[in-house]
Amino acid sequence: MSERLRVMVVDDDRLNRVTMLQQMLQDGYVVTTVENAFQALEQLETGGWDAVVTDMRMPTMDGLELLRSIKARFPDVDVILITAYGSVETAVTAMQEGAADYLTKPFRFPELVFRLHKLEEARAARQEISTLHAFLDNAPSYYGLVGHSSLMKNVYERIRNFAANVAPVLVEGETGTGKELVARALHLQGGRAKEPFVALSCGSIPRELAESELFGHEKGAFTNAIQRRKGNFERAHRGTLLLDDVDDLPLEMQVKLLRVLQEGTIVRVGGGEEIAVDVRVVATTKQSLDKLVAEGRFRDDLFYRLRGLEIHLPPLRERGDDVLLVARHFLDLLAIRDRSEPKRLSADASEILCRHNWPGNVRELRRALESACVVCHGAEISAQDVPEYLRQVDLGGRASASLFTLHLDRSQSLHFNEQVERFEDALIQWALTKAGGQQLHAAELLNLPRTTFQSKIGRHGKNRIPAQVAAENQA
């Protein structure tokens, strides 16, 4: 429970002061009383007060004048005004001058307590927001994206380069990598930051409602269309429209989307009027659109329209020490949410996080840390607090069997880069053999982007396709 308010009661009526003092002390508040506004301002100079409950009608300086002085000199102190001479005009004036609340005599004490409880909640919310802003201002993040690896720096650079451009942007990345954050960063850094940002999940739209969701509909256009409705393109006018998972958009909608991108106009379902829209489109995909085009599941003309400005968001497993940086970022956010001190990662827990492949990427990491924080009762998350599926140990505490074994007993020294290259060669040859020499399939077997896989093949100018695979392909 949060600490109770420190409240000052200002009233020239001694009986009112004593009564409120006794009742508020019984309710757990820290309270003092003064008989006029000048004493109140003098007490406020000492600091430490959260709220002032003051009568409106007092000699020399009334409650409204006291309110103005408090808001000018002590803006963090909340003021509740009480008067027997209440009116709508007085209440409006008081609220415009910065009063937190307003009560009219006669009132029952529980009513004042209720107002004070609301005040406590409002102050706690303001403090939480202030703390969160302070954290975000100092966090090692770029519009919510966290990471210092070269791959992420390349993402940040592309966002800066593309933000002011009106052309569509295609953001490619696995599920959970933070593609929507990239879209929001493009919106906030560009010239449309003050206009709407509208996000539409293409995969969650029922096929029969997809056109209405994108372009809107007229009244009576179909059953249950009881009134005109704007679609997401109209809602995003002058702003940014995020088409999340555009790879899930049905083929019949892809051709209509292409027309909007080319013409800049939409037609509502059931309507005939062309409506001009000024929208910057950011599309995300979790699959290779090249592959979907080859399979006939994505229109090539729409793909070429979207692919001009592309951002590849790397999976977490390729980002090295970013794993720990993102983990610490999430621990700080979880601490703010739970109003607690951030937990630390032990060396063993950090090693486990770095070792995991993270198929669910950043989203999976956050969920794992949420679970670890629930299990951990101390200040440091240990290996035993990490979800069991990440630890991969048997009941005897031994590490589970590795996919490979190093035989170094007879070695006196090694050339590190040479050994790493040989290990990569073995993995790539395994994948190519299993994929029958098809590079796209081999890249998928290794959970690598196609471009990354191809660069590894060509890095040393070697043909890494195994001889037996090449022979089979020629047969």
pLDDT tens for 150-163 read 999 999 999 999 99
**E strand intervals along 360-407:** 380-381
Cβ-contact 94, 87 below 8 angstroms: no
**Alpha-carbon separation of residue 186 from 162, 237, 290, 311 (angstroms):** 7, 16, 24, 11
What local confidence, expressed as pLDDT, does residue 109 receive?
Answer: 84
Which are the contacts of 239, defined by CB distance < 8 A and separation ≥ 6? 187, 192, 195, 196, 197, 198, 279, 280
333-366 pLDDT, tens per residue? Answer: 898 888 889 999 998 899 899 889 999 999 999 9
The domains of the chain, with CATH numbers, are 6-135 (3.40.50.2300), 161-314 (3.40.50.300), 317-391 (1.10.8.60), 416-474 (1.10.10)
d(CA 91, CA 27): 27
Lowest mean pLDDT among 144-158, 320-334, 371-385, 427-441: 427-441
What pLDDT, in 10s, does the model give residues 182-211? 999 999 998 899 999 999 988 888 888 888
In this prediction, residue 144 carries a pLDDT of 85
Listed in sequence order, the residues at least 6 apart from 433 whose beta carbon sits closer than 8 Å to its beta carbon are 466, 468, 469
Model confidence at 132, in pLDDT bands (50, 70, 90)? Answer: low
Q: Which helix (H) or strand (E) holds 172?
A: strand 169-172
Are the CB atoms for 251 and 297 separated by under 8 Å?
A: yes
- For residue 411, pLDDT over 80 is answered with no
Q: What is the pLDDT of residue 404?
A: 60
Mean pLDDT, rounded, for 166-192: 93
The pLDDT tens digits for 30-41 are 899 999 999 999
Q: Is residue 282 a contact partner of residue 243, using CB atoms and an 8 Å limit?
A: yes
Q: Is the peptide bond before 106 cis (omega within 30 degrees of 0)?
A: yes
- 26 by Cβ neighbours in 10 Å (0-12 / 13-18 / 19+) ranks as exposed
State yes or no: pLDDT of 467 exceeds 50: no
The confidence band for 140, taking pLDDT boundaries of 50, 70 and 90, is low
Q: Can you tell me the distance from the alpha carbon of 405 to that of 431, in angstroms, rounded to the nearest whole number? A: 19
Helix, strand and coil percent figures for the chain, each rounded to 5: 50, 15, 35
For 326, which DSSP code? H
pLDDT top residue among 234 and 391: 234
In sequence order, what DSSP letters do the residues of 226-270 get, joined into one string? -S-EE-HHHHTTTSEEEEETGGGS-HHHHHHHHHHHHHSEE--BT
Tell whether the model's pLDDT for residue 252 goes beyond 60.
yes
Angle at CA 184, nearest 5°, toward 180 and 187?
140
Write out pLDDT tens, residues 389-410.
888 643 333 344 445 656 565 5
Task: Give the C-alpha distances (Å, rounded to integers) separating 287 from 176, 261, 317, 368, 403.
Answer: 13, 21, 17, 25, 27
In angstroms, the Cα distances linking 450 to 223, 289, 392, 439 are 45, 12, 29, 8
Q: Angle at CA 130, nearest 5°, toward 127 and 134?
A: 140
Listed in sequence order, the residues at least 6 apart from 136 whose beta carbon sits closer than 8 Å to its beta carbon are none
CB 229 within 8 A of CB 216: yes
DSSP 83-112: ESS--HHHHHHHHHTT-SEEEESS--HHHH
Assigned token pair, 94: 């008081």
92-113 pLDDT tens trace = 777 878 888 888 877 888 888 8
- Looking at residue 298, its pLDDT comes to 94
- Structure-model confidence comparison of residues 194 and 472, the more confident one: 194
- pTM beyond 0.75, yes or no: no
